[in-house]
Structure 1
Amino acid sequence: MVEDHGPAGDQRAHWQATYGRHPGMYGEEPSEAAVHAADVFRAAGVRDVLELGAGHGRDALFLAREGFAVRAVDFSSAGLEQVRRTAREQGVGDRTECLVHDVREPLPLPDASVGGVFAHMLLCMALSTAEIHALLGEVRRVLRPGGVFVYTVRHTGDAHFGAGTGHGDDIWEHGGFAVHFFSRALVDSLAEGWCLDEVAAFEEGGLPRRLWRVTQSLPG
């Protein structure tokens, strides 16, 4: 088991408490990234999706409503309990599976077992570069040939990059929350051996946060 200390351990405690105090804090509407991912997955013939960092499920539930079979993964049991409850209420409980899991550990799925993987701002949590590369290896392992991975991350052009407390490895803590800001070099290194289909810039939320939406796929 991974040692639960430092910024990453603090983050786990933060989200467990936050989802407990503020159920449905991001609302029911899906993220822009999830809407895009649904179109990408559908065009690629993907029928089942693994979401990493599902939180309370606004995107996982949207994907289920769109007809995908969804595995929602998060390290917050409080968040995933909300996913289960809302999935039943929305009539998509049969298409929604929840797994409590820390992505710093190997994914609890067989090789080549999913068609698509989606992660909205999960990779830019307080994960080291080595942990991010290890996670990409796991994503590659569980995807079928021709599978698609869509992820979003805050990048080094974001207003909070370089602000607050630096932890090294492009991880900066601002307002009590640590973020790993992605350089383009990191994006390219994570795509080695993949087809890098798109790197698109967009903005979301306050400041606004500046992000990249990355789509990469495995050879068929």
Structure 2
Amino acid sequence: MSDDAQELADVQRQHWQNAYTAHPGMYGEQPSTAAVHAAEMFRSAGASDVLELGAGHGRDALFFAREGFTVQATDFSPVGLEQMQDAALSQGVEHRVTTAVHDVRDPLPLPDASVDAVFAHMLLCMALSTKEIHALVGEVSRVLRPGGTFVYTVRHTGDAHYGAGTPHGDDIFEHGGFAVHFFPRHLVDSLAEGWTLNEVHDFEEGDLPRRLWRVTQTLPR
């Protein structure tokens, strides 16, 4: 990683730490629409355990737990994960949820073929380079069992903030203190090589609104 990329990564980690500290449970308790869809996909595929990457304070991870899945949740913010652990206790699902502080630029701390499903809501479109995103999806492929399902969402180049704010190269733009890697469609297709690409669904979220793709892909058996 270059010095500039490392500095951006460090700044972004601190931004999220500060955000979770200043606004506990900042996204509320209701799951994202992407997580509701993912739970349906995971259940129909017969999944029982889910890995969520970039879980934050846990609104989606806790939803999966309430739906009966066993959940492993990772994030690079210890503050967010502490809030998730407290919420899991209050919701009575602490036995279904485990957490780990982890930066997705590093290999996933799981054995090969050890989970049924992986979910990542707007994690792949954080301040990650294209090379780092490909490495991460390779790690997802490694830890998924054959036939496993991967559902992720990303902001794309049709978003109103694409091209706005401070450019960092590689389709990464920083706006309001947070950096986003906006996905062109060819990046989605390249990440699905070796997988079955089941769906690329265009949707909106938030007040801007943000423009996102929800991508569902499965490993061959």
User: Considering the TM-score relative to the shorter chain, is it more than 0.5?
Assistant: yes
Q: Which residue of 1 aligns with 2:59?
A: 58
Q: What are the ranges of 5 or more consecutive residues in structure 2 without an aligned counterpart?
A: none
Deviations 1:134-188 (A, max 9, x none): 0001000000000000000000000010111111100011122110000000000
Q: Which residue of 2 aligns with 1:131?
A: 132
Runs of 4+ residues over 4 Å off in structure 1: 1-4
Alpha-carbon distance in structure 1 between the residues aligned to 2:200 and 2:55: 22
Q: Which residue of 2 aligns with 1:99?
A: 100
Deviations 1:29-88 (A, max 9, x none): 000000000000000001000000000000000000000000010000000011111111
Q: Which residue of 1 aligns with 2:190?
A: 189
Give the superposed CA RMSD: 1.3
Q: Which residue of 2 aligns with 1:207?
A: 208
How far the C-alpha of 1:2 sits from its partner, in A, is 10
The letter of the residue matching 1:11 is Q
Q: Which residue of 2 aligns with 1:159?
A: 160
- Residues 1:2 and 1:71: Cα distance change in structure 2 (over 3 Å): farther
- Residues 1:160 and 1:105: Cα distance change in structure 2 (over 3 Å): same
Is contact 2:15-2:177 (8 Å) kept? Answer: no
Q: Which residue of 2 aligns with 1:79?
A: 80
How far the C-alpha of 1:16 sits from its partner, in A, is 1.0
Q: Percent identity?
A: 74
Q: Which residue of 2 aligns with 1:141?
A: 142
How far the C-alpha of 1:116 sits from its partner, in A, is 0.2
The letter of the residue matching 1:35 is V
Comparing 65-74 with 173-182, greater Cα deviation is found at 173-182
TM-score by length of 1: 0.97
TM-score by length of 2: 0.97
In the alignment, structure 1 residue 44 sits paired with structure 2 residue 13: no
Deviations 1:109-131 (A, max 9, x none): 00000000000000000000000
Comparing 137-146 with 6-15, greater Cα deviation is found at 6-15
Deviations 1:18-38 (A, max 9, x none): 111111111000000000000
SS class of match (1:5): helix
In the alignment, structure 1 residue 69 sits paired with structure 2 residue 65: no
In the alignment, structure 1 residue 118 sits paired with structure 2 residue 114: no
Alpha-carbon distance in structure 1 between the residues aligned to 2:133 and 2:192: 12
Give the number of equivalent residue pairs.
220
In the alignment, structure 1 residue 12 sits paired with structure 2 residue 13: yes
Is contact 1:53-1:72 (8 Å) kept? Answer: yes
